[in-house]
Amino acid sequence: MQTNRRLASNHSLDYARQLAYSQNKELVVYEGLRKDYPWNSKRIHRFILEGIIENQSEALRLGLNFWAFVEDENRQANGLLKKIAEKASVLVTDDFPCFIIPEQSQKLADKISCAMLAVDGNSIIPFSQFEKFASSARILRIWIHKKFPNYFSQFAKPRYTKKDFEGLNKGTKPPFLNFEITRERLDVYLENFIFSHDVSPNEKIQGGRKTANDLLDRFIKNKMDQYALSRSNPNNFEETPVSGLSPYLHFGYISAEEIFMRILQKAEPNGWDIESLSHKKAGDRENFYTNSSSANHFLDELITWRDIGYLYFFKKSGFRINLSDLPDWVRKNLDKHALDPRPYVYSREEFENAKTHDDLWNAAQKELKITGRMHNYMRMLWGKKVIEWSISYEEAFDTLEYLNNKYAYDGRNPNSYTGILWCFGLFDRPWFPERNVLGNIRYMSSDSTRKKFKMNAYLDYVNSLEGKNDSLFP
Ligand SMILES: Cc1cc2nc3c(=O)[nH]c(=O)nc-3n(C[C@H](O)[C@H](O)[C@H](O)COP(=O)(O)OP(=O)(O)OC[C@H]3O[C@@H](n4cnc5c(N)ncnc54)[C@H](O)[C@@H]3O)c2cc1C
397-445 pLDDT, tens digit per residue, is: 999 999 999 999 999 999 999 999 999 999 999 999 999 999 999 999 9
- Could you give the C-alpha distances from 375 to 26, 368, 372, 461, in angstroms and in order? 45, 9, 10, 12
pLDDT of residue 470: 42
Taking the C-alpha atoms of residue 8 and residue 391, their distance in angstroms, rounded to an integer, is 47
> 317: pLDDT confidence band, cut at 50, 70 and 90?
confident
Q: Stretch 56-66: mean pLDDT, rounded?
A: 98
Closest CA to 164 of 1, 5, 9, 3: 9
Query: How many CB atoms within 10 Å of residue 442?
Result: 16
Q: Which atom of ligand 1 is nearest to the CA of 248?
A: 49
Contacts 24+ apart (CB under 8 A), 240-245: 240/375, 242/375, 242/376, 243/215, 243/216, 243/219, 243/298, 244/205, 244/215, 244/219, 244/373, 245/212, 245/215, 245/216, 245/219
Give the residue whose CA is nearest to atom 3 of ligand 1: 419
134-181 pLDDT, tens digit per residue, is: 999 999 999 999 999 999 989 999 999 999 999 999 999 999 999 999
Closest CA to 83 of 5, 11, 30: 30
Closest CA to 395 of 358, 346, 359: 346
HEC string for the chain? CCCCCCCCCCHHHHHHHHHHHHHCCCCEEEEEECCCCCCCEHHHHHHHHHHHHHHHHHHHHHCCEEEEEECECCECCCCHHHHHHHCCCEEEEECCCCCCHHHHHHHHHHHCCCEEEEECCCCCCCHHHCCCCCCCHHHHHHHHHHHHHHHHCCCCCCCCCHHHHCCCCCCCCCCCCCCCCCHHHHHHHHCCCCCCECCCCCCCCCCCHHHHHHHHHHHHHHHHHHHHHHCCCCCCCCCCCCCCCHHHHHCCCCCHHHHHHHHHHHHCCCCCCHHHCCHHHCCCCCCCCCCCHHHHHHHHHHHHHHHHHHHHHHHHCCCCCCHHHCCHHHHHHHHHHCCCCCCCCCCHHHHHCCCCCCHHHHHHHHHHHHHCCCCHHHHHHHHHHHHHCCCCHHHHHHHHHHHHHHHCCCCCCHHHHHHHHHHCCCCCCCCCCCECCCECCCCCCHHHHHHHCCCHHHHHHHHHHHHHCHHHCC
- pLDDT of 311 > 80? The answer is yes
- pLDDT of 92 > 70? The answer is yes
Q: Percentage of the chain surpassing pLDDT 90?
A: 95
CB 105 within 8 A of CB 2: yes
CATH of 209-316, one of 3.40.980.10, 3.90.110.10, 1.10.10.10, 1.25.40.80: 1.25.40.80
Helices 393-407, 359-371: crossing angle, 10 deg rounding: 40
Mutate to test the pocket of ligand 1, among 43, 301, 305 (most ligand atoms within 8 A of CB): 301
In this structure, the dihedral spanned by the alpha carbons of residues 366, 370, 373 and 379, taken in order and rounded to 10 degrees, is 10
Ligand 1 binding residues, C-beta < 6 A:
231, 242-246, 249-250, 301-302, 305-306, 309, 376, 379-380, 383, 404, 408, 410-411, 413, 415-416, 419-420, 422-423
Question: What is the pTM for the complete model shown?
Answer: 0.97
- C-alpha 48 to ligand 1 mean position (Å): 19
- pLDDT of 65 > 80? The answer is yes
100-138 pLDDT, tens digit per residue, is: 999 999 999 999 999 999 999 999 999 999 999 999 999
pLDDT of residue 280: 86
**Every domain of the chain and the residues it spans:** 209-316, 323-472
- C-alpha 165 to ligand 1 mean position (Å): 35
Give the residue whose CA is nearest to atom 7 of ligand 1: 416
> What residues form DSSP beta bridges with 96?
none
Q: Which atom of ligand 1 is nearest to the CA of 306?
A: 44
- C-alpha 7 to ligand 1 mean position (Å): 24
422-431 pLDDT, tens digit per residue, is: 999 999 999 9
Give the residue whose CA is nearest to atom 47 of ligand 1: 246
pLDDT of residue 298: 98
Residues 6 or more apart whose CB falls under 8 angstroms from that of 229 comprise 294
CB 182 within 8 A of CB 53: yes
Taking the C-alpha atoms of residue 282 and residue 146, their distance in angstroms, rounded to an integer, is 7
Question: Quick one: how far is CA 89 from the chain centroid?
Answer: 31
Taking the C-alpha atoms of residue 227 and residue 233, their distance in angstroms, rounded to an integer, is 10
CB 396 within 8 A of CB 346: no
- C-alpha 369 to ligand 1 mean position (Å): 17
Mutate to test the pocket of ligand 1, among 99, 235, 376, 377 (most ligand atoms within 8 A of CB): 376
CB 3 within 8 A of CB 31: no
Q: Stretch 62-82: mean pLDDT, rounded?
A: 94
> What angle is formed at CA 80 by the lines to CA 71 and CA 406, rounded to 5 degrees?
40
Taking the C-alpha atoms of residue 418 and residue 180, their distance in angstroms, rounded to an integer, is 37
Query: How many CB atoms within 10 Å of residue 299?
Result: 23
- C-alpha 191 to ligand 1 mean position (Å): 31
Q: Stretch 33-62: mean pLDDT, rounded?
A: 98
pLDDT of residue 472: 46
pLDDT of residue 468: 53
Query: How many CB atoms within 10 Å of residue 342?
Result: 16
Average pLDDT, rounded, for the chain:
96
Taking the C-alpha atoms of residue 212 and residue 249, their distance in angstroms, rounded to an integer, is 9
- C-alpha 65 to ligand 1 mean position (Å): 35
Give the residue whose CA is nearest to atom 44 of ligand 1: 306
Q: Stretch 9-17: mean pLDDT, rounded?
A: 98
- C-alpha 376 to ligand 1 mean position (Å): 6
Q: Stretch 43-65: mean pLDDT, rounded?
A: 98
231-258 pLDDT, tens digit per residue, is: 999 999 999 999 999 999 999 999 999 9
pLDDT of residue 343: 96
Q: Which CATH superfamily is domain 323-472 in?
A: DNA Cyclobutane Dipyrimidine Photolyase, subunit A, domain 3 (1.10.579.10)
